[in-house]
Structure 1
């Protein structure tokens, strides 16, 4: 109403990081810029200041004077992203929006580049899946179509090397100390052991996290595709997940690329993924 846009989040957003952010929407004829609005602190009652924001209390202001003008520029269901530039920080830190999980796609492409220099025995398929945050539709359809014997889901995971982190619940995960290997119900114990052994042989630092029920990655649907797929999860530690400024260490990216390429190179027709 009055030219302001109501909106919903796609995936798991913390509304606290949205207030005041600039956004870029895909409009009817191109990109449309806007700002996520909320009542200013001057107008908040004492009890309102103590409450966390909810998306239903926020809006997007695209500078439209009224509803009709807004409707000329965007349609119901238009999607958008937060506007946040990429920044290089000291000690090889990279800050950007959407690192979760654009960096996973980059890692897979870099691993393919290494494998192209020395062709592996295994046939390799790489997929940048869609909708992992909401339906995992991309992973479901891809796993069904390819029907692989083994799969690796490449994602990011919560780093706990910052103030107030709960290491007892989420583990001791630090930037710069290599990829994180998931162990749990959705992970093949054979694949997990292979990844650890390869990391140790190649002197790649790594840590292990525990996912007793679900991993929160595409592995959750890949491992039950068709008759089952031996699945592993390799993750890059990331600070400030689901915010406009997610942070990773570039050395973790390099180590993850090397680990995945090395894993693929040891696969053969004789590789047995049945736990013994």
Structure 2
């Protein structure tokens, strides 16, 4: 991955984006897309829509949701401790012992989530999995008044943000799900802009996927595409305790996953698979037997229906502070999608 692409990824992963609070990360997306897109707009829902050749045909939407799971400040008690509700789907055990950031207009307030020391836990307490309602954030405030000078009810909360490279081209950060999707669709669009597309290509950094695929619904309605590709993460199964028989054989660094199933237009799937073979872009094939839990679910049934595909990035430890992806998989996903878009003509037919 070249330095500008890597810096874009790091900037995305350093910007907070809990569902409904995506403005900081969307500012990063707009700054990147403004350099090559013919049009860059932000709708009132918060979706950032970048277009190349917007009057072309057919119209294709590339969706990568930028929101991450988070928390929301719900109560500040008299001692200055902060109580929260979840935004998105959490494994509560992932929160214990974590450095957290409470975000507001002035910046970020650091805090920690923990519980009483193991020496003080009863034998029964040691066996219990805590509920969200059992956890609090300690920002070091001496009382409620001091805490309220720093934070407010409704402020969003994330893990401490950042990016670390691991061995063999892997990288780890919270929020890989799915800031990497926004990275892929915008880099695919950049490659399309450098070509000679006949299609109108719209790359969308969608909002609020984690709370119901909401941004994909509104942006697809506005764009009116005939085709759509949703880019999200999927579970890598090349680590201990994950059942390949149940979830498929999906490896980090072996290319993006091109899904097939009832949520995927079969002609689009075959053309993506053919593009992978002829361009020698590594890809993995997997099946999903139901409507996906990602933006493709909403896109497929937009207005009169659209042909959809799913290109997914293998991800270890999803919805955790240490999500892991392969940088090679990101680059290969962007190239695969760009070449697919450049192959489209007004005569392209995706009738099943």
User: Normalising by the residue count of structure 2, what TM-score does the alignment of the two structures yield?
Assistant: 0.76
In 2, Cα distance between the equivalents of 1:185 and 1:50? 42
Correspondence for 2:282: 205
Correspondence for 2:340: 263
Q: CA deviation at 1:99?
A: 0.9
1:98 to 2:175 alignment: yes
Q: CA deviation at 1:176?
A: 0.8
1:65 to 2:149 alignment: no
Q: Quick check: which one's strand share is greater?
A: 2
- Taking a change above 3 Å as real, the CA distance of residues 254 and 62 of structure 1, as seen in their structure-2 partners, is same
In 1, Cα distance between the equivalents of 2:296 and 2:344? 19
Q: Residue by residue, what CA displacement relative to the aligned partner does 1:53-96 show, whole Å, maximum 9, x if unpaired?
A: 32111111111112222222211111021114311111111111
List 4+ stretches of structure 1 deviating above 4 A: none
1:22 to 2:120 alignment: no
1:76 to 153, 170, 190: 153
Q: CA deviation at 1:265?
A: 1.0
2:193 to 116, 128, 142: 116
Q: Residue by residue, what CA displacement relative to the aligned partner does 1:18-67 show, whole Å, maximum 9, x if unpaired?
A: 11111111246432111112222222221221222321111111111122
- Structure 2 residue runs without a partner (length 5+): 1-76
- Structure 1 residue runs without a partner (length 5+): none
Q: Which moved more, 1:202-211 or 1:238-247?
A: 202-211
Correspondence for 1:138: 215
1:190 to 2:267 alignment: yes
Q: Aligned to 1:133, what secondary structure does the other structure show?
A: helix
1:126 to 200, 203, 208: 203
Computed over aligned residues only, the root mean square deviation of the Cα atoms, in angstroms, reads 1.3
Q: Aligned to 2:200, what secondary structure does the other structure show?
A: coil
In 2, Cα distance between the equivalents of 1:84 and 1:174? 25
Correspondence for 1:172: 249
**Equivalent residues of 1:190, 1:273 under 8 A apart:** yes
Q: CA deviation at 1:173?
A: 0.5
